[in-house]
Structure 1
Amino acid sequence: MKIWFLGTGAGRPGKHRNVTGIALQLPDPSCHWWLFDAGEATQHQLLRTPLKLSKLEAVFVTHLHGDHLYGLPGLLSSRSFDGGITPLRLFGPPGLKHYVDTVFGISGTQLDYELHIHELTAPEGEIWDNGTVRIEAGALEHRIACYGYRVTEREQPGKLLVHKLEELGLTAGPLYGKLKQGQSVALEDGTLIRSEDVTGEAKPGRVVTILGDTKPCANVVKLAKGADLLVHEATFARGMEEKAHEFGHSTTAEAAEAAAAAGAKRLVMTHFSGRYGSEDLIRLEAEAAERFKPVTAAVDLMMLEVNRE
């Protein structure tokens, strides 16, 4: 898995930060990727990455504030021009369908693919499984309806124990592949070989949690439980908790506390107020590091690998 930070600023674009957009490239062999939020100019930022709109499989909108949404109509339209013909799923809070239908209706936009819009009405739970990864949503505490998303990769089969297969008289070939995929196979003499008997311990799937805007709340910890990577907003510096909560946001220290409480393995902070310049990120990162490590203050177009342990 790879994750790109297409915009790391809050509220409006700045000289060095675009507004929110995060791309998650799914594990091989799917080659698909998902987008979380699409602030203004998100598709411009995508042009500076290797990601192709034709490979975009789903978009997840955390909430309907403009800095997370205004780039969506143009991006969906451009996908047709980039050869996107496969269906696209769009998830987000109630009102998302009305927004997209209104913009496309007024502008006369026609898409060359099916767009399936799913509005989230339940407070939490699994919302989709594409066979490789599944995604859950949970309500956060912001000024309007807002969600966080938890992406969980399926468990990976363990390594084939070749010496055991050789002892059973099985040579390399198609049956190896079936066993690797977790299937049982039968030999010509009727002997049944179970995958679990000839493979090592299965590898747990990776977990990535991407939150929308939020002040501290129980669902933050629930969505981030044991995550390999937690992406948490840190709109304000430590000591500005009162102001942060007034606007439904969190501070660097609160992002770190959430990561620690959830037992996350890595924290990336984003959604920084425009009051902070690029030179301030070192200080913001250091504030969080006093309570949780490893932590990174994201910058635009930063890409991270989410590796298996």
Structure 2
Amino acid sequence: MTLRTTFLGTSGAVPTTRRGPSAVMVHREGERFLFDCGEGTQRQMMRFNTGFDVDHVLLTHLHGDHVLGLPGLLQTWDFQDRTDAVAIHCPPGSRKQVRDLVTAAGHDTAFPVRINEVTPGSVAIDREEFEIRAFETEHRTTSQGYALVEDDRKGRFMREKAEEELGIPPGPAYGKLHAGETVELEDGRVIEPERVVGPPRPGRSLVYTGDTRPVDATVDAAEAPDLLIHDATFDDEMADRARSTGHSTAREAGEVAERADAKRLALTHISSRYPGDARELGREASAAFDGECFVAEDGQTVEIPFPDKE
């Protein structure tokens, strides 16, 4: 089951020749979710072959480098004769500004655009097997991050034990037991599912902060996230600038990842002060974080496997 992230824009504040403004595409088993939509996002979607089939856009805040790609993307969908509704999720109190942005060029779409204010701590998208919920961040305006968290999965069905040790013949009983049902065999024995099904297995999780200072809410957003995508605008020398502008340094991002017990850390929102090699940011983050750490690049795709994948 696919869970894949493509970085469409990894620059901070302004685009560079190497990086576009903030946008992240998350593809989960047939659904695509767009987190932030900076200038030029639709071109990045074409360039990196993510597809345009997006029903949900989740905005962390309304600074231009996170939203100015939205009017153009909506207009393109209209040119493509889209009829399906799109939901735009945004921080509380920002519905009017988002509506004004959507219609900024005097263009209204033929398809429904639903604007959903999401309060930190609440669920933006609720599915049978996962949810995307908002959490509070700290920036120079009302802001929030989002965590995609999958439910636990069924335990493994121990076929060898069922067949050889308990003598359960292959057939419908296996499916019922794996679904958690007790079955009665032809010989009268009653088999509880716990005898042949292992403990629940954890799902996957992804946390995206948008622009933020280091905050406890990021640590609490998901238990040991498989991928934490964190603001890392500046290096250590610019720590004062990070504090005054509501951003994080790479080292601070690493400290958050370490506290959150994240498996991987992606550093993004890289300042244009680092137009070329930004590996030093990765080294500073790695000094505080023992897990895998990398500076995200535009077009980079990251697959998120199940924790127990062999």
With the shorter chain as reference, the TM-score category is 0.7 to 0.9
1:64 Cα offset (Å): 0.2
Could you give the per-residue CA deviations for residues 250-307 of structure 1, whole angstroms, max 9, x where no partner exists? 111111111111211111100011111222x111111111111321001101011111
**3-state SS of paired residue (1:68):** helix
1:107 corresponds in structure 2 to 106
Could you give the per-residue CA deviations for residues 126-170 of structure 1, whole angstroms, max 9, x where no partner exists? 333111211221111110001011111111112222234434544
2:58 corresponds in structure 1 to 60
1:35 corresponds in structure 2 to 34
**3-state SS of paired residue (2:236):** coil
C-alpha separation in 2, matches of 1:234 and 1:45: 21
1:71 corresponds in structure 2 to 69
1:111 Cα offset (Å): 3.4
C-alpha separation in 1, matches of 2:78 and 2:174: 40
Answer yes or no: is the 8 Å Cα contact 2:99–2:115 preserved in 1.
no
2:46 corresponds in structure 1 to 47
TM-score, normalising length from structure 1? 0.88
Say yes or no: does 1:143 pair with 2:145: no
Could you give the per-residue CA deviations for residues 165-220 of structure 1, whole angstroms, max 9, x where no partner exists? 434544245x644544x342656868765544432232101111100111122222
- What amino acid is the match of 1:18? G
TM-score, normalising length from structure 2? 0.87
2:216 corresponds in structure 1 to 218
C-alpha separation in 2, matches of 1:127 and 1:193: 40
| Structure 1 counterpart of 2:239, from 238, 241, 246 | 241
C-alpha separation in 1, matches of 2:161 and 2:49: 42
In structure 2, do the counterparts of structure 1 residues 8 and 302 end up closer, same or farther at CA, with 3 Å as the change threshold?
Answer: same
1:292 corresponds in structure 2 to 289
C-alpha separation in 2, matches of 1:64 and 1:193: 56
Say yes or no: does 1:3 pair with 2:5: yes
C-alpha separation in 1, matches of 2:218 and 2:190: 46
Answer yes or no: is the 8 Å Cα contact 1:53–1:84 preserved in 2.
no
C-alpha separation in 1, matches of 2:189 and 2:157: 18
**3-state SS of paired residue (2:108):** coil
- What amino acid is the match of 2:40? A
Count of residue correspondences: 300
In structure 2, do the counterparts of structure 1 residues 159 and 146 end up closer, same or farther at CA, with 3 Å as the change threshold?
Answer: same
1:23 Cα offset (Å): 0.9
C-alpha separation in 2, matches of 1:90 and 1:41: 18
**3-state SS of paired residue (2:197):** coil
C-alpha separation in 2, matches of 1:195 and 1:211: 40
| Structure 2 counterpart of 1:89, from 73, 87, 90 | 87
In structure 2, do the counterparts of structure 1 residues 172 and 278 end up closer, same or farther at CA, with 3 Å as the change threshold?
Answer: farther
1:45 Cα offset (Å): 0.5
Structure 1, unaligned runs of 5 or more: none
C-alpha separation in 1, matches of 2:218 and 2:126: 21
Answer yes or no: is the 8 Å Cα contact 2:74–2:109 preserved in 1.
no
1:163 corresponds in structure 2 to 160
- What amino acid is the match of 1:132? E
**3-state SS of paired residue (1:276):** coil
C-alpha separation in 1, matches of 2:115 and 2:74: 12
- The share of aligned pairs that are identical, in percent, is 34
1:115 Cα offset (Å): 3.1
C-alpha separation in 1, matches of 2:36 and 2:131: 18
Could you give the per-residue CA deviations for residues 73-97 of structure 1, whole angstroms, max 9, x where no partner exists? 2223333555754443321113543
**3-state SS of paired residue (1:128):** strand
1:149-188 pair list within 5 angstroms: 149-166=146-163, 167=166, 169-172=168-171, 176-177=174-175, 179-180=177-178, 182-184=179-181, 186=183
**3-state SS of paired residue (1:38):** coil
**3-state SS of paired residue (2:237):** coil
In structure 2, do the counterparts of structure 1 residues 13 and 168 end up closer, same or farther at CA, with 3 Å as the change threshold?
Answer: same
Answer yes or no: is the 8 Å Cα contact 2:70–2:102 preserved in 1.
no
1:130 corresponds in structure 2 to 127
- What amino acid is the match of 1:4? T
- What amino acid is the match of 2:240? E
In structure 2, do the counterparts of structure 1 residues 103 and 249 end up closer, same or farther at CA, with 3 Å as the change threshold?
Answer: closer
**3-state SS of paired residue (1:203):** coil
- What amino acid is the match of 1:245? R
Could you give the per-residue CA deviations for residues 98-119 of structure 1, whole angstroms, max 9, x where no partner exists? 234334445232233x433211
Answer yes or no: is the 8 Å Cα contact 1:53–1:82 preserved in 2.
no
Larger displacement relative to structure 2 (155-164 or 77-86): 77-86
Answer yes or no: is the 8 Å Cα contact 2:226–2:304 preserved in 1.
yes
**3-state SS of paired residue (1:230):** strand
Answer yes or no: is the 8 Å Cα contact 1:237–1:253 preserved in 2.
yes
2:114 corresponds in structure 1 to 116
- What amino acid is the match of 1:146? S
